[in-house]
Amino acid sequence: MVGKNLLTRASLVLCLLLGFAARQLLAAGLPGSLPEGYWQDAADPDFLIGFEDSRLLIGYGGRVREVVGSLSPSEEGAVGCEAGRESHVSFTREGPLLLFLDAKSGKHRRLRRLPCRPDSFLFALTLPEPFPIAEARVLAIQKEIWERDRAEQAALRPAQPLSWLPGALPAPAPNPPGALDFRMIEQATENAELIETLVKEVGWIDVRRFGYPASKAAFFLVQHTWDPVLLQAVLPFVKRDVDAGLIEGSTYALLFDRASLAAGLRQRYGTQVVSDDRGNVLVLPVEAREGIDDRRQALGMGPLADYVAVLGAAGVAFSEECGSASSLPPPQR
């Protein structure tokens, strides 16, 4: 009887161990499938990734920083959509671990599966509602933002203005193939840290409190970050100023489209473009192409054909990448 009980217990333990191993392997993903759940670098706990709804979320510094959408399995790991372009994600399985190639650092990270989504892995940023600020503080913020934007724009400003923007604001130059605006990210890292810290403290740099020039400069600083969380956080506040007639609708369109692409989705207004290897201007993936000029008109913008003509294009040509990407819903605020 004792021997039989020991055998039963041993079988139960073995069953539990095998079940645990099977769950770990399933979480890592079977060949030809995507992993599931949330993973952490064993050597650098600040680095996290998560697989959610066919998206790869990459986080560090306490929140999501990069998104690859519309993921599907590939031989090297997965292929998806990042910033409107096809993106290849490289990872392999090592038993229950995931060997993940961090494209930014170029190093392979050994990731372990977490039992649940960590609280620090945030895909949202809550900004305070506008509140009165002392005049001296307003002036200091205006000066800081103007100076940083002027320095940043000096290196990036193209020659031709957009006709519908007041003050001859610059048209976004098409990006070289494969590069997009990631060169801006490197130049704007310090500004991104400043603007995020600032809007957490005082809220969005809105027109009523800080004036049009400062609000517009803050928009450019945020736009250049390609930060999906920060971009989505400021969208509803910019929309308020647009609805109040304090800032042009094209500002919101540019921000919405950049936020969409940064989240691995398609843009809505066609403001984000890229140059192919022959120098042709391509409009990055857009939802419902047939209604794009109506959506642009609703924000006081001209037809898409006029927009790309400013950039030297003879006609509208759409990128065919990321065809399965979905769209960002409008902000609810």
130 domain residue, yes or no: no
In the chain, where do the E strands start and end?
Answer: 37-41, 48-52, 55-60, 63-74, 77-82, 85-94, 97-102, 107-113, 273-275, 281-283
* Predicted pLDDT of residue 205: 97
Distance (Å, rounded) from C-alpha 255 to C-alpha 226?
A: 10
- Final residue of a domain: which of 80, 113, 146? 113
Domain that holds residue 199: 135-310
pLDDT bin (cut points 50, 70, 90) of residue 280 is confident
Question: Mean pLDDT throughout 261-287?
Answer: 91
**pTM of structure:** 0.79
Whether residue 291 has pLDDT greater than 60: yes
- Please write the tens of the pLDDT for every residue from 168-180: 334 444 444 444 3
Query: Domain check: are 254 and 151 in the same one?
Result: yes
Distance (Å, rounded) from C-alpha 327 to C-alpha 138?
A: 36
Q: At 32, which CATH number?
A: 2.40.128
Average pLDDT, the chain: 82
Distance (Å, rounded) from C-alpha 23 to C-alpha 63?
A: 27
Q: H/E element holding 154?
A: helix 135-156
63 domain residue, yes or no: yes
CB-side exposure of 205: number of CA atoms within 13 Å? 29
Query: Domain check: are 280 and 216 in the same one?
Result: yes
Query: Domain check: are 144 and 39 in the same one?
Result: no
Query: Domain check: are 169 and 21 in the same one?
Result: no
**Which distant-in-sequence residues (6+ apart) come within 8 Å of 290 by Cβ?**
none
**Amino acid letter, 105:** S
Question: Mean pLDDT throughout 97-115?
Answer: 93
Query: Domain check: are 280 and 210 in the same one?
Result: yes
* Contact of 175 with 215, CB cutoff 8 Å: no
Question: Mean pLDDT throughout 267-280?
Answer: 90
Overall number of domains in the chain: 2
Query: Domain check: are 72 and 40 in the same one?
Result: yes
- Final residue of a domain: which of 81, 113, 145? 113
Query: Domain check: are 47 and 94 in the same one?
Result: yes
83 domain residue, yes or no: yes
Report, in angstroms and rounded to the nearest whole number, the Rg of the chain calculated over CA atoms. Answer: 23
- Please write the tens of the pLDDT for every residue from 24-42: 444 444 456 899 999 999 9
**Amino acid letter, 256:** F
Question: Mean pLDDT throughout 65-84?
Answer: 92
Distance (Å, rounded) from C-alpha 322 to C-alpha 83?
A: 10
